Structures are given as structure tokens and as C-alpha cells.
């Protein structure tokens, strides 16, 4: 039986479906939602904006709040409490660095929609890399 589940969550529908899956299929597990901010991009916009904030931790928490609000709504619909954690940097590295603290990772098959060119390059990359490198089981939800 799984007792600790990590659900990386951005603002995509696939991420929300991953959280729903985790809550519905692991009713006894503690579920933690991870949202990563400051993701490197081709123009470095989010990373630079985050780095220029006076309090990086507070700025990261503020940027993560919309994803956490959605996660709490999903949890409330199922009468479940979820834990939240903010990561800073690259999503894959953040997920893998935390993996050993959990029994499984439940991740959406695709992340947030970016521009068309970026989507072709990045969509599914986080889920694929995590599934290949994680030291624990990974469930990919479509």
C-alpha cells in the first residue's frame, strides 16, 4: 500500500487529472502537490523575474498559489487534504530530487500549454524523463 504520493502540478488539465487520479486511487495516502516556478525558458523571463524579486521564496510561493488553489479545490471535492511544496528551477530536477521521500509519483502526461514551437519541443518531456530516471514507480496519467 502506498502511503506517500508526489503529484507535480502546473496549470494544465493533465496535471489536474493526475491529482484526481492520485486522490481517487490512493485514498489512504498522504498526497503532496509540487509546483515548480522559475522554469528556465529560451528567453529566461520567469527565471530572471524571480531572481530580481527581493524575497525569492515569497515570490515563488505567490507564483505557485494559483496551482495550489486548484489543487485544494480538487482535494475539497473529494474531502481530502493535500500538502503543498514549492520548487524553484527545473521541474524534472525538482521532482527527481524529492522522489526518494515518496512511494510513487503521479504525473500528467503533458504539461501546461506553451507556444506551438515550445510545445513541440517540451510537451511530455518532464513526464518521460521522470519515468526513466526516478528511483520509485511513476504513474503517467493521460
The CATH number linked to 34 is: 3.40.50.620
Nearest-CA neighbor of 36 among 108, 95, 104? Answer: 95
**What is the length of the chain?**
142
| Residue 11 and residue 113 in contact, taking contact as beta carbons nearer than 8 Å | no
Strand partners, 108: 141
Residues 16 and 60: their CA atoms lie apart, in Å, by: 20
Residues spanned by the domain of 124: 4-141
Number of domains in the chain: 1
pLDDT per residue, tens digit, the chain (142 aa), is 899 999 999 989 999 999 999 999 999 999 999 999 876 554 444 544 555 556 777 888 888 999 999 999 999 999 999 999 999 988 999 999 999 999 999 999 876 544 444 443 443 689 999 999 999 999 999 8
Amino acid at each position: 500500500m502506498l502511503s506517500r504520493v508526489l503529484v507535480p502540478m502546473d496549470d494544465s488539465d493533465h496535471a489536474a487529472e493526475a491529482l484526481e487520479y492520485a486522490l481517487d486511487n490512493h485514498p489512504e495516502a498522504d498526497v503532496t502537490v509540487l509546483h515548480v516556478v522559475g522554469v528556465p525558458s529560451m528567453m529566461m523571463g520567469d527565471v530572471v523575474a524571480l531572481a530580481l524579486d527581493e524575497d525569492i521564496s515569497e515570490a515563488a510561493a505567490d507564483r505557485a498559489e494559483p496551482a495550489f488553489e486548484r489543487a485544494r479545490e480538487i482535494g475539497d471535492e473529494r474531502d481530502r487534504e493535500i500538502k503543498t511544496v514549492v520548487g524553484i528551477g527545473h521541474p524534472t530536477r525538482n521532482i527527481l530530487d524529492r522522489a526518494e521521500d515518496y512511494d510513487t509519483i503521479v504525473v500528467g502526461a503533458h504539461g501546461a500549454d506553451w507556444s506551438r514551437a515550445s510545445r513541440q519541443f517540451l510537451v511530455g518531456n518532464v513526464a518521460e524523463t521522470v519515468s526513466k530516471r526516478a528511483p520509485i514507480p511513476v504513474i503517467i496519467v493521460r
